Structure 1
Amino acid sequence: MQIRPFQTSDTPRLLELLRLNTPEYFSPAEEKDLIYYLKNEIEQYFVLLENNKIIGCGGFNLSEDKKTGKISWDIFHPESQGKGFGTELTNYRIERIKEIKSIEKISVRTSQLAFRFYAKFGFQLKEIVKNYWDKGFDLYHLEANIDLVKIR
């Protein structure tokens, strides 16, 4: 397993991973959001490779005041889910976020389909917005104080 920074040439593979998880974990409408994110909003984004093939990705951004690290856009190949790769990439990002001295908390916005994964790291549910991402895809906003986030 290898984690490395995202490169623009990775975009077609990441879109393929998204499509493999649509509509089970993502709404078809979210593809345009991912494309926009990859072109305009990336701050720290990574890909996870196994046998030199991208099987997952995820990143983080900082709030404007640089006090919150915001975990973003986790996507894994369906055959790679449940094998610890998501935990490894999340641990990696938490460690990178904790290196930033101004950070006080970490947040993640996900859906009802994935929020339990983040709860294992100590994130607490703060808000639910029904049909936020699309019909049937609710927003689950979770946060944790930087000192309470667990590496698993």
Structure 2
Amino acid sequence: MIRAYTNQDKEELIALLKLNIPAYFAEEEEADFVEYLEQHLEDYFVVEENDKLIAAGGLNYFPESGESRISWDVVHPDYQGKGIGRKLTQHRINHVRQNPQINLLIVRTTQLVYKFYEKMGFSLAKTEKDFWAKGFDLYQLHMPLRGN
């Protein structure tokens, strides 16, 4: 089940992120994630199975430039590779398509998972070495949402 994030989910989500350190996130990113949840949250969704949070991911909006950004995707290691991330990403693509102000969906990720987004229809736009932390490069991908 995919539902909107609530403040009661915060501690469980931090624990979920920790399960993905150091495989997909650097240790220092935990503080960034907490700040995101407390100060930069716009639309954030969680995936529940049997009353347990197994994945989460968000959207942030930049209507002045007609862009939205996928943010803070995290999937429980036991559920990776089982289609959960695909369903959550498609849910957000469908959600953002309903906003006529948004023409471009952007994801900023790492070299570890950018191919997942390419399979979802995103195209690689740029890279930057050690952007997130040492060994965690920026891979920015784009998906046009309307004919430009």
Scaled by the length of structure 1, the TM-score of the pair is 0.94
Task: Compute the RMSD of aligned alpha carbons.
Answer: 1.1
CA distance in 2, matches of 1:18, 1:138: 18
Matched residues, percent identical? 43
SS in structure 1 of the partner of residue 112 of structure 2: coil
CA distance in 2, matches of 1:65, 1:120: 28
Q: CA deviation at 1:113?
A: 0.5
Q: Which residue of 2 aligns with 1:145?
A: 144
The CA deviation string for residues 81-111 of structure 1, in whole angstroms up to 9 with x for no partner, is 0000000100100000000011111000000
Partner letter of residue 53 of structure 1? Answer: K
Q: Which residue of 1 aligns with 2:101?
A: 102
Point out 4+ residue stretches in structure 1 off by more than 3 angstroms: none
Is 1:11 the counterpart of 2:10 in the alignment? yes
The CA deviation string for residues 63-98 of structure 1, in whole angstroms up to 9 with x for no partner, is 141611110000011000000000010010000000
Evaluate the alpha carbon distance shift between residue 64 and residue 102 of structure 1 in structure 2; reply closer, same or farther with a 3 A threshold: closer
Q: Which residue of 1 aligns with 2:29?
A: 30
CA distance in 2, matches of 1:40, 1:72: 13
Q: After the TM superposition, which residues 1-150 of structure 1 pair with which residues of structure 2 at under 5 Å, given as runs? A: 2-65=1-64, 67-147=66-146
CA distance in 2, matches of 1:64, 1:112: 28
Q: CA deviation at 1:147?
A: 3.9
Partner letter of residue 143 of structure 2? Answer: A
Partner letter of residue 91 of structure 1? Answer: Q
CA distance in 2, matches of 1:72, 1:118: 13
Aligned pairs, number: 147
Scaled by the length of structure 2, the TM-score of the pair is 0.96
CA distance in 1, matches of 2:101, 2:57: 22
> Structure 1 unaligned runs (5+)?
none
